[in-house]
Amino acid sequence: MLGPNAAGKSTLACALWGSGFSLLGDDLTIVDPATATAQSAPRRVSLRTRSRELLGEPLWVKMLAAPSSEATPDGYVFHPGEVDQRSCPPVVPLVAFVFLARRGAIVADGTAEPCPPGIAALALLPYSNLIRRLNPWTVIEQVSPLAGTVPAYDLGRGPLSTMVTVVERLLDGSA
């Protein structure tokens, strides 16, 4: 999931986690464009306090009880592995890119629309560390095959439970 600050990425990721998905991480994921795989970065997940009501008290209480859970000015950070012992492989294949609040995307609330590969490649650029090191054309050359291989979708905001259902359908191919 990709999107601007406060788009709801971490809340949606934790809601999916609560429905049985593994939580690789938030805000930082290492992607290998050549193999279309991802691996987590060594950092804690951050949630804003306003996500508490959306995610429910049972998950929130578990998160607060985690040994490395720590209050921040906006909420809390925690390690998912301390809350849920489900094993998460060190490297996972990318199944889809889900954009939240992508600039220029027009998507009805609680629905998903396919994002064409060319647009997806350009939309991935701001989230890549490559853009800081290489010229934009080189980055586009590296990201374009990935955007052509991994499907991308724009997800419209809606009730969290609806967004979870839409993402589940996208990932199991029934959307």
Could you read off the pLDDT of 93-136 as tens digits, one per residue?
999 999 999 999 999 999 999 999 999 999 998 888 888 888 88
Tell me what pLDDT residue 82 has.
83
The span from the CA of 92 to the CA of 114, in Å, is 22
Q: Which string of DSSP letters, residue by residue, matches 70-109?
A: EE-SSEEEE-HHHH------SSEE---EEEES-TT----T
Provide the CA 45 distance to its chain's centre, in angstroms: 11
**Tokens encoding 26:** 């938030």
**Predicted confidence band of residue 28 (pLDDT cuts 50, 70, 90):** confident
What is the average pLDDT across 68-73?
Answer: 92
Residue 125 within any structural domain of the chain:
yes
Counting residues of the chain whose pLDDT is more than 90, the rounded percentage is 57
**Predicted confidence band of residue 173 (pLDDT cuts 50, 70, 90):** low
Residue 75 within any structural domain of the chain:
yes
Q: Tell me the pLDDT of the chain averaged across its residues.
A: 89
Residue 154 within any structural domain of the chain:
yes
State pTM to two decimals.
Answer: 0.82
Residue position matching structure tokens 């209050």:
71
The span from the CA of 90 to the CA of 41, in Å, is 10
Q: Are 51 and 84 in contact, with CB atoms under 8 Å apart?
A: no
Residue 3 within any structural domain of the chain:
no
**Predicted confidence band of residue 16 (pLDDT cuts 50, 70, 90):** very high
Residue 128 within any structural domain of the chain:
yes
Residue 71 within any structural domain of the chain:
yes
Residue 56 within any structural domain of the chain:
yes
- Interior CA angle at 161 toward 115 and 30, to 5°? 50
The span from the CA of 173 to the CA of 171, in Å, is 5
Counting residues of the chain whose pLDDT is more than 70, the rounded percentage is 95
Tell me what pLDDT residue 88 has.
67
Provide the CA 88 distance to its chain's centre, in angstroms: 15
Domain span at residue 21? 9-172
Domain count of the fold of the chain:
1
Tell me what pLDDT residue 129 has.
82
The span from the CA of 77 to the CA of 47, in Å, is 6
Q: Are 171 and 152 in contact, with CB atoms under 8 Å apart?
A: no
Lowest model confidence (mean pLDDT) among 18-32, 103-117, 142-156: 18-32
Residue 2 within any structural domain of the chain:
no
